[in-house]
Amino acid sequence: MAHNTKAMGTKDVRGTAAGQSGGGETVFTPRTDVFETDDAIVVIADMPGVNKESLEITLEENILTVDGRVEPERLAGAAQTHREFKVGNYHRTFTLSDAVSREGIDARVKDGVLRLTLPKHGPSRARRIPVQGE
């Protein structure tokens, strides 16, 4: 399976090539924009046809996986005679760096656009390290 890799923070973003098939179904890699603020990394993924109910996001160790299911549109009482728009599901994985806090990840979808907000750990504070004697 081919992988696309793009820098994200101090780690990378991986996804399968768009339009690959596996087991007879088409799976697309959603295109993403990645933004970094002082407090978070924000990922915006274009996933037409996906809604809250058809989206599954999981986090296992440092791998964040996004899966979206899309049902082809059907018109009651009509037979399809031609199709130019290919319908398929979406799959993308992100390898998170240690800078991303696993708590508080926020996912929102509206009009087929997924917005993931990955909060960063707070800045390290200077502290005094006590020295123990024997």
pLDDT at 119 (0 to 100): 93
pLDDT at 14 (0 to 100): 40
Q: Per-residue confidence of the chain (134 residues) as pLDDT tens digits?
A: 333 433 343 333 344 344 554 566 789 999 999 999 989 999 999 999 999 999 999 999 999 999 999 988 888 999 888 888 788 899 999 999 988 998 889 999 999 999 999 999 876 666 676 777 66
Is 3-73+88-119 in CATH node 2.60.40.790? yes
d(CA 101, CA 99): 7
Domain spans in the chain, listed from the N-terminal domain onward: 3-73+88-119
pLDDT at 47 (0 to 100): 95
- Where in 19-133 does DSSP place strands (E)? 20-22, 25-28, 32-36, 40-46, 55-60, 63-68, 89-95, 106-110, 113-119
